[in-house]
Copies of this chain bind each other. A is one copy, B any other.
Amino acid sequence: MASATVENYVKQILLLREASEAGTVAGKPSPVPLGKLSVRMNVSPGTVTTMAKNMARDGLLHYRTRAGVVLTPKGERLALQVLRKHRLVEMFLVSTLQFDMSEVHAEAELLEHAISEKLLARIDDFLGRPQFDPHGDAIPGADGKMPHRKLCLLSECAAGDRIRISRIQQQDDAFLRYVLDAGLMPGVALTIESADLPADAFSVVFDDGRRLTLGGKAASGIQTTAEVSRKNVEKPAPASAKPSPDKNLSGSILLNMNEIKLY
């Protein structure tokens, strides 16, 4: 039906709208300007105009000239499906094939267009229906619903807070590799030792005692969830509490986002 190109357009429109809505009160969807889209898609502005017209003709979006595009329900459904494939594939590559967070994006970018509904369902089952991908991004459900958590920037935490890394927001290669090296992957629990705003410095302590200080830029690239304060959490992961991973062959339990929502 839809070409890989069209799938990428709707996906990118969805992501841009989400980004522009971040922190906004839910309301009428403001159109995504074509300039933004042309940058994201790495194509010239004229190309996007042409595509917008074609996709409007195909009922995937509404195009108001010089204002931008808004996905129709049909377009949104397609976009969510593509995003679901992308993120489930990322999860699969990390938990089953030993990839790490920083390597999976490019692979998933290709695979997301080559996965049938049937295969997707098998992967989803195999992984035990994860709700978040290896970066902590929400995986749209088969019904199109986005799982939701109350997240908080690491840079907005206060000294003494007990938190869990839940999402790496800043997803450029360099930062992802830093996060991996530093052990700040989603799923990791830690305590905020100090949050020195004037100094723009945030110190955290891992459960194994390791300490680390981040600047404000890095700290705002990482999102966290509040952890129920619970002293001396020694057992690394309550394996018995898993939802239903009939066959969870995940290499690292920390990278399975299923774990996160259990706390």
Is A113 located at the chain interface by the 8 A CB criterion? yes
Is A110 located at the chain interface by the 8 A CB criterion? yes
Is A116 located at the chain interface by the 8 A CB criterion? yes
A90 CB to closest chain B CB (Å) equals 12
Interface string of A106-148 (1 = CB under 8 A from B): 1100110111101100110010000000000000000000000
Cβ-neighbour of A111 out of B96, B98, B103, B114 (below 8 A): B114
Cα A155 to Cα B128 in complex, Å, equals 45
Q: Is the CB of B96 within 8 A of A126?
A: yes
Is A2 located at the chain interface by the 8 A CB criterion? no
Q: Is the CB of B107 within 8 A of A119?
A: yes
Q: Is the CB of A97 within 8 A of B113?
A: no
Is A185 located at the chain interface by the 8 A CB criterion? no
Q: Is the CB of B119 within 8 A of A114?
A: no
> A123 contacts which chain B residues (CB < 8 A)?
97
Dominant secondary structure of chain A at its interface with chain B: helix
Cβ-neighbour of A93 out of B93, B98, B119, B247 (below 8 A): B119
Closest B residue to A113 by beta carbon equals: B114
Is A178 located at the chain interface by the 8 A CB criterion? no
Q: Is the CB of B110 within 8 A of A116?
A: yes
Is A39 located at the chain interface by the 8 A CB criterion? no
A176 CB to closest chain B CB (Å) equals 16
Question: Which positions 20-65 of chain A face chain B at CB distance < 8 Å?
Answer: none
Closest B residue to A93 by beta carbon equals: B119
> A151 contacts which chain B residues (CB < 8 A)?
none
> A98 contacts which chain B residues (CB < 8 A)?
122
> A159 contacts which chain B residues (CB < 8 A)?
none
Given A93-B119, A119-B93, A110 contacting B99 (CB threshold 8 A): no
Is A249 located at the chain interface by the 8 A CB criterion? yes
Which residue among A103, A110, A114, A247 has the maximum number of chain B CB atoms within 10 Å of its CB? A114
Q: Is the CB of B107 within 8 A of A116?
A: yes
Cα A98 to Cα B110 in complex, Å, equals 23
Q: Is the CB of A122 within 8 A of B99?
A: yes
17 of the cross-chain contacts (CB-CB < 8 Å) are A96-B96, A96-B126, A97-B126, A98-B122, A99-B122, A103-B118, A106-B116, A107-B116, A107-B118, A110-B114, A110-B116, A111-B111, A111-B114, A111-B115, A113-B114, A247-B249, A249-B249
